[in-house]
Chains A and B, each alone.
Chain A
Amino acid sequence: MRRYFGRKLFTYTLTFFIAATIDWLIPRFMPGDPVAGLMARQGGLSPAGAAALAQYYNNLFGLDRSLPEQFINFWIALLHGDLGRSVYVHGRPVTEAIMGAIPYTLALLIPAILLSWWAGNSFGALAARRKWLDNTVLPIGYILTATPYMWLGLMLAFVLGFSLRIFPLSGGYGFNLEPALTWRFFTDLVAHWMMPFLSLFMVMFGGWAIGMRNMIIYELESDYSRYLEALGAPQGLVRKYAFHNAMLPQITGLALQLGVIVAGSLVTEIVFSYPGIGMLLFNAIKSEDYFLLQGIFLFIIIGTLLANFVVDIVYIMVDPRTRVGMRGGTA
């Protein structure tokens, strides 16, 4: 057990270190000067005033030291949870901006991932049994999984938002409301959340359904299934075993798909101007706010690593062979 987790932790730490270093390296070698850009948005400064302000910003962003010193400062700051200061949000800490956006993204991602995984697997398993369901689920599944996330978002927005006016087209909550513990606010929040959630859910659902269906078919054709059938076991029992075996690669598949899912949520938020990490990223790119960009990237990395870790733990709990293997036995 320890060796398994040790390896995993080592890989994750190494990944984090490499990703963070890439993150730090790249802006130092790009053209253009973000401080100059920030200063250019000011007006009417005397040269002395400009020098003082430039000094202030350089100090704030830490650009006036040598490269190795900057690198070490970067890691020290990182371990303190300080991701630097944003240009887009005018000198406010990056962590503050990200923390404001994260709840929205998590509110989209967590229900979408869990529900689509559960629903997709169930449908896939059902489809593997019934031919008529298979003939409908399979093509729909392929179409859904081939759909780019943002396009499905656009279609939903157009049909449900623009044409039928059921849901609002953009934002986290209405511009005429303030956050409050009222029913009205809550329904408004859900109304704005529904379309981004649906669009994420549908694309992911397609993928899981197809994957599960294929796995079940594969399992049903394997030796142990046929053996059980030959022995006269009821179909339900065979299917139950097949289902449990098919779940395992779906769990690890979840970990592998995290990168794609995160990407999908980013573009979906952009379509709906939903104030999560994706929208923040979009704005950071447009305003060339490199510090915010780096911070978001690191956050995404950390989140993905954590999610991977959680999936690893779940996998161990679910697959008895790994536990046996760790205790030294053979499956």
Chain B
Amino acid sequence: MEMGKSRVIALLAVASLVASACGTSTGSASPAVTTAPGATVAPVASAPVVGTSPTPVVDTTVYPRAQTLYTTGKQWGAPSTWNPLDGGNYATGTLGLQYETLFMYDPLKDVYTPWLAESGTWDSAKTTYTIKTRSGVKWSDGSDFTSADVAFSILVAKNPVLGSTLWTTGGVTAADATDASTVVVKFTNPAYQEWAQWLYNGAIVPKAVFEAKNTADILKFTNANGVGTGPYMYKTAAADRMVWVKNPNWWATAALKLDVKPQFIVDIVNSSNNVALGQLLQGGVDLSNNYFPGVKSIVDGGYGVTTYFAGVPYMLGGNTATLIPNTTKKPLDDPAFRKALATAIDTNDIVTKVYGSIVTVADPTGLLPNFSKYIDVAQDKALGFSFDTAKAKSMLAAAGYKAGSDGFVTNKDGSAIKLTLEVPDGWSDWMQAENSIAASAAKAGIKIDPQHPDFNTVVANRNRPDATTAPKFDLQINNDVQIGNTPWTWYDYVFRPASKSFGTSENRNYEGYNNDAAWALVQKLDSTPVEDVAAMKTITSALQKIQLTDMPVIPLWYNGIWAQMNNTVWTGWPSDKGNQVLPATWNGYWNMGAVLMLTQITAVPAK
């Protein structure tokens, strides 16, 4: 009796195991391609199969290590949609590897490289933009890429569910394909900066596939096995990974002499740090865009891990971590108090102790290093702030905030000041940073209470439900604005009036600071062509004066583009001394030059 039972049990176990794996992958068929995809795959000698259908000669279900690039760090959650129009949710690489944009922008050199567009020119009145699309580009299903696809991709931005500003504040009034390779875009009150952003951020999608889906339900279209122009095609996806396979017909190989080296890219979902870190150290992951504390010990630990900079600060800066005060509340409504607070924070302590110097202190203007040409240096020196406890104390005293018996300053009416500082729970580096902020502020006499509610609560506390209701928080740390092509994004983030940024997801002006003169300048900046650097400098200098005088937000440090690269299997990674491209798999970074990284890495020869 017992023997029979165990046999049944064993069979059950086997059956359930095989069923489980085969049932999980969400579609593993490669899209139909006109040329044989298997030509460049080295055949894998597999062991004789037991009692199942014969294995094909070329086994594309196993990815040879030397031809596969393993990445991790961007995907927080199972890949579930490959629709490049679905902003924050598409799987790693959907925009960048599979779908492409008209231009590629390099923020380190401030250069727009024609990509799917051969050129883009304004007319003399600067209200009509003519795009010449690249010839010889084919979609991955074999059909031709034409101007109709580009025109459609601009038109689809009208769909309100996508939340694009192109046709509203962007100024676009018409987009027509006048012939097979020309698109004419007409503007009224063009917002040149926003348009320039769209040129390198806007996904070009196939009209043939997306036109029928262009309804209110466009985001429900997951577009698995999609059709794109990019260097990679959808291979398979599962709950814990996303797999791309090289597109042998990528246009840039012929046109720009660019060849992406990995045959397969496997992006691993961040389920937990132990997988990510462990894999990185054991050579199972080549590029990790996760944040790891103690990067220095990892780099020095002999694992073959390198970073963009060989020494301090190890990482490029990708966004500014900013302290956002709620300027509708006392005493944060007083610019003098805010400036004193800025002077009281020891940012250097955060940079060295919390981050181990893999980040750098931010410029008081908050602009990232790639925008240094827009920083009015003299003015910055005169009006900017830096850490000085004594000065902070005297600023507080001069502004009328007297210290109480416990050493902490009180409001002018004598009531106690206790400011809550919120960061999302689990963001360990920010949790440590806020403790540091509280400690240094306490030395100057400002009482700060660091909290870490869960992410949704932090968001709920900072959102304005409507134009008139003020948000609830006191202080938060935020880093929404990423590196990009224009400082306009930063100033829009700081100065857009509260009346224009409310609702479940406004992400501007959390601090609730309203300054009509500043907003007028921001709009003027938006209408300044990106080539007119001189004009932009004048406007940004004026904006910086307002920002430094009133201090609506307090920039703290430049958060890094976290990138740890293992050189065991692939080498030739971006570095300060070598290829200066962004080493990130994050959304929006592929089309800022990270794709070039894939053409520059080389496989380490097997020993």
Contacts and interface: CB of A to CB of B under 8 A. Distances in A.
Contact of A279 (B16, B21, B271): B271
A178 to B, nearest CB: 4
A276 to B, nearest CB: 8
B380 interface: no
A6 interface: no
B13 A110 contact: yes
B160 A52 contact: yes
A43 B78 CA distance: 20
Interface in A101-152: 101, 103-104, 106-107, 110-111, 114-115, 118, 122
B219 A176 contact: no
Interface of A is mostly: helix
A251 interface: no
Contact of B21 (A92, A176, A189): A189
Contact of A39 (B23, B165, B453, B504): B504
A47 B20 contact: no
Contact of B216 (A56, A122, A190): A56
B88 A50 contact: no
Which residue, A47, A92, A100, A184, has most C-beta atoms of chain B within 10 A? A47
B34 interface: no
Contacts of B460: 31-33, 36-37
A17 interface: no
A179 B13 contact: no
A46 B161 contact: no
Interface in B1-55: 2, 5-6, 9-10, 12-13, 16-26, 28, 46-50, 52-53, 55
Interface string A154-197: 00000000000000011111011111111111100110010000
B87 to A, nearest CB: 5
A54 interface: yes
Interface residues of B, number: 91
A46 B168 contact: yes
B127 interface: no
Interface string A1-14: 00000000000000
Contacts of A106: 16, 20
Given A90-B81, A118-B2, A176 B459 contact: no
Q: Size band of the A side of the interface?
A: 35 or more
B20 A104 contact: yes
Given A170-B274, A275-B24, A175 B268 contact: yes
Which residue, B61, B78, B165, B236, has most C-beta atoms of chain A within 10 A? B78
Nearest to B426: A286
A247 interface: no
Interface stretch (B63-71, B114-122, B559-567): B63-71
Contacts, number: 241
B215 to A, nearest CB: 12
A50 B464 CA distance: 12
A97 interface: yes
Given A49-B165, A185-B61, A273-B272, A178 B506 contact: no
B256 to A, nearest CB: 29
Contacts of B501: 47
Interface stretch (B138-146, B237-245, B346-354, B401-409): B237-245
Interface string A273-309: 1010001101100111000000000000000000000
Contact of A103 (B24, B28, B68): B24
Interface in A68-122: 88-92, 97, 99-101, 103-104, 106-107, 110-111, 114-115, 118, 122
A97 to B, nearest CB: 7
Nearest to B25: A179
A102 B18 CA distance: 13
B77 A43 contact: no
A44 B482 CA distance: 11
B219 A91 contact: yes
A182 B63 CA distance: 14
B507 interface: yes
Nearest to A170: B275
B503 A47 contact: yes
Contact of A181 (B52, B65, B235, B503): B52
B253 interface: no
Contact of B48 (A33, A183, A189): A183
Given A90-B89, A101-B24, 5 more contacts: A110-B12, A171-B275, A179-B61, A186-B17, A283-B77
Name the 10 nearest CB pairs between A and B, nearest first: A49-B163, A103-B20, A39-B505, A32-B456, A37-B456, A45-B163, A54-B504, A111-B13, A178-B61, A107-B16
